[in-house]
Amino acid sequence: MAKLKNDWYVCSIDKNLLRSFSKRSDKPALIWFGSYFLLLALMGIAVVLTWGSWWAWLFAVAYGAIWGCAASGFHETCHKTPFRTRWMNETALWVFGWMVQMEPIAVRWGHLGHHSFTHFNEGDTELSEPNPVTWGLLFKVGSGLGGTYFYSKSLLGQAFGFISEEMQAVIPSNKVPKAINNARVMVGLYAFVIIWALSAQSWLPIVLTFAARIIGGPVTGLLHLTQHTCLQMNVMDHRYSTRSFTAGPITRFFYFNMNYHVEHHMFPMVPFYNLPQLNDALKNQLPEPCKGLAGVFREIFAGVVRQQKDPDYFVRKTVPGLPEQPTAASPS
């Protein structure tokens, strides 16, 4: 098993400034999360009110797209950074987790592996698009089908007491029983939805839950692809292995500011609502961000085309004052 690394490159920043950015507060988190769930509820109500007409499917697509962004909300609460009040954070974590089939304990400890070995062939427990990236892999991740299948299968297995060897390696043994119980409660709630749909003889409960997860899958998948796809692997500098991009307020809202992804990986204890300020403090030390989602996918598609001819190719990021790429490392 790979060992934790503690010597990742970190940009220079004033300690007091970083301390202020790292402060958690309930208010901005409540406003952001509350707005998200309000929009989700409004779209859900629109689906219910128009059920039986073609308008319902239009609203169902919008509802599903918003639902898919729950994966980003889960990610934030997984870090325990949005709320100062712990129970608020854990409650939101549970709700988001249920929406996207992610059991909090297993995924939280698995995510630690991702941050410890970001985009490493060995150790990154969330590595889903290693180089060279194929078009098939791009579709599997970008469609959300791969992620939906993986997390649903893992959660169901966990509910029956099965923990994969990979997860056993990262989850503390004393946390395993609670992780299994959590999975059983979540699966039980899914069963309740199915029973509700059968008893009501209506597809509506399914459309508002399971179908929403599938409809929102491409939103989750495409946003996930922006993070590390086609970038340099096995290097202990997030500026080369992780991608940030500029985004408008709508994208930033539903993605919970994770377009500032280099900043997040370098300082993961900074709450998502403070990432724009962190970016302002670090931007002169970071590569030029991609211009919007269009810029990200132009870069990724060009990278995949090159990798079909040259498997060793990766997108080279230029860091101010450091034109050369760093030497790749290996876990030890």
Which H or E run contains 305?
helix 292-309
Cβ proximity of 97 and 111 under 8 Å: no
The answer to whether 213 and 100 are in contact (CB under 8 A) is yes
The per-residue pLDDT for 332 is 47
Q: Which residues of 205-215 are buried (b: 16+ CB within 10 A; e: fewer)?
A: bebbbbbbbeb
Query: Domain-by-domain residue ranges, the chain?
Result: 24-309
Q: Which residues pair with 319 in a beta bridge?
A: 322
pLDDT of residue 2: 44
| pLDDT on residue 329 | 59
CB 146 within 8 A of CB 140: yes
Q: pLDDT tens digits for 140-174?
A: 999 999 999 999 999 999 999 988 777 777 888 89
Question: Taking the CA of residue 50 as centre, how many other CA atoms within 13 Å lie in the half-sphere pointing to its CB?
Answer: 16
**Cα–Cα dist 103/151, whole Å:** 9
Q: Provide the 3-class DSSP secondary structure of residue 319.
A: strand
pLDDT at 320: 84
pLDDT at residue number 327: 60
The confidence score (pLDDT) of residue 41 equals 98
Listed as ranges, residues in the chain with pLDDT below 70 are 1-6, 322-332
At residue 1, the pLDDT reads 39
pLDDT 10s digits, 220-263: 999 999 999 999 999 999 999 999 999 999 999 999 999 999 99
Distance between CA atoms of residues 303 and 310, nearest Å: 10
